[in-house]
Amino acid sequence: MPVNRVLRADAARNRSSLLAAAAEEFAARGIDASVADIARRAGVGKGTVFRHFPTKDDLLAAVVLDRVDELAGLARRLFRADDPGAALFELLAAAAGKQQQLDLSFLREAGDINERLRAARERLFAAIVAMVERAQAAGAVRADVTGLDVILLMCAPAHVAGFVPTASPETWRRYLAIIIDGLRPEGAHPLPEPSP
């Protein structure tokens, strides 16, 4: 049993090295980052990657799961905040900042994903929906947008800031601010198309 314990500690250490290395590589090279590079960056053999994550996709899912879990935790904490609008916008900023490191667009692929990831995503989405409703009730967000609208739009700042790799790594904040201004009730024009 102690032997087992030690091995587990090793395995756990490897697992987190791998997650960290994968996050960095996916951020830097996109979804095409190679398993070999991730293994090298984590300082383990290629085979170890596959012992922990049966598939490259599973590794990616695990990385995303980390981010989603962090966001869901933050959402839980922010839900009780005094200013519902500020709380929502803070969550959106956190989400956009995460994406700066990893395009969460992966979220969309709902089909053959990890079950745990799907669950975490649902938790996060439910939290965001609730926060949006609270912010709308407080008059901080226009009434004609849905939680899903906000979820989708929160992916935009990192995406468009990524077009200018030479810019400051905080550039996404500028575009989030513009989008948030679009989400406010003041000066809102009627929206075409229903929310999906």
Partner DNA sequence: GATGAATGAGTATTCATTCAT
Partner DNA sequence: GATGAATGAATACTCATTCAT
CA distance 75 to 91: 6
Interface with DNA (CB under 7 A), residue from 6, 28, 167, 178: 6
The reply to whether 173 sits near its own copies by the rule CB under 8 A is yes
Residue with smaller CB distance to its own copies, 19 or 53: 53
167 binds, among its own copies, DNA, none (CB under 5 to 8 A by kind): its own copies
CA distance 92 to 171: 14
The reply to whether 47 sits near DNA by the rule CB under 7 A is yes
183 φ/ψ angles, rounded to the nearest 5 degrees: -90, -10
User: Which residues, in sequence order, are CB contacts of 44 under 8 Å at separation 6+?
Assistant: 14, 17, 18
In the DSSP assignment, the letter for residue 189 is P
The reply to whether 28 sits near DNA by the rule CB under 7 A is no
The reply to whether 100 sits near its own copies by the rule CB under 8 A is no
Q: With CB under 7 A as the contact rule, which of the stretches 49-57, 132-140, 141-149, 185-193 interacts with DNA?
A: 49-57
Contact mark string toward its own copies, 13..32, x via CB under 8 A:
-------------------x
Least distance (Å) between residue 48 CB and DNA? 4
Q: With CB under 8 A as the contact rule, which of the stretches 37-45, 64-72, 100-108, 112-120 interacts with its own copies?
A: 100-108
CA distance 143 to 85: 13
Cα separation of the two ends of the chain: 53
In the DSSP assignment, the letter for residue 54 is S
CA atoms within 13 A on the CB side of 11: 11
CA distance 195 to 191: 9
- Other beta carbons within 10 Å of 14: 18
In the DSSP assignment, the letter for residue 192 is S
The reply to whether 10 sits near its own copies by the rule CB under 8 A is no
159 binds, among DNA, its own copies, none (CB under 5 to 8 A by kind): its own copies
Interface with its own copies (CB under 8 A), residue from 7, 11, 36, 167: 167
Interacting residue ranges for DNA, rule: CB under 7 A: 3-4, 6-8, 10-11, 13-14, 32-36, 43-52, 54-57
Interacting residue ranges for its own copies, rule: CB under 8 A: 32, 105, 107-108, 145, 148-149, 152-153, 155-156, 159-168, 170-171, 173-175, 177-184, 186-189, 191-196
